[in-house]
Structure 1
Amino acid sequence: MALLTLKPVNANVHSVHLADGTHVGNLKRVGSVWKFKAVGYDTHGAVEPGCGPLTNQHNTVFAQPDAAAVNRQLGSHLS
């Protein structure tokens, strides 16, 4: 079972979600690479860039938005 799923936002962004639908970040195309941008939310629901359960994986580089690759590289960091 995949821990993380991707949802296309536009040609340069895919949102990354836990299996329960919780948004934990985005894959953003930066030049010719895709970078994971972690996000968290404060107690009022405001977005906190670079935070959340995958904070330490912020800026992880990917060749393309591929759910299997995202799960391999980021999924093991979820507790």
Structure 2
Amino acid sequence: MTIRLTLKPVNTNVVAVHQADGLHVGNLKRIGSLWKFKAVGYASDGAVEPGCGPLTLQHNALFDEPEEASVNQRLAPHL
């Protein structure tokens, strides 16, 4: 499998999700014992647009853990 998304820890409860070219497309946020994907996009002025971007339809997808292979398996096909 080609890695199209990379994970970058922000803190103990947030992991940023980036495309291979570095574009930030969302975050995994720990909510209880699960991790929830929160899509983000950017307006033309650079403002963050929560729930938008190339992975809008995957907003709120649940993960057991922030693991790159599983994130790629579930999210990368939607890019």
TM-score range, shorter chain: over 0.9
Q: Which runs of 5+ in 1 are unaligned?
A: none
* Structure 1 equivalent of residue 54 of structure 2: 53
How many residue pairs were aligned?
78
Partner of 2:72: 71
Cα separation, 2, equivalents of 1:35 and 1:5: 16
Specify the SS of the correspondent of 2:57. Answer: helix
Q: Which residue of 2 aligns with 1:29?
A: 30
In structure 2, runs of 5+ residues without a counterpart are none
Q: Provide Cα deviations, 1:21-77, integer angstroms capped at 9, x if missing partner.
A: 000000000111000000000000000000000000000000000000000000100
Partner AA of 1:31 in structure 2: G
Identity fraction in percent: 68
Moved runs in structure 1, 4+ residues, more than 4 A? none
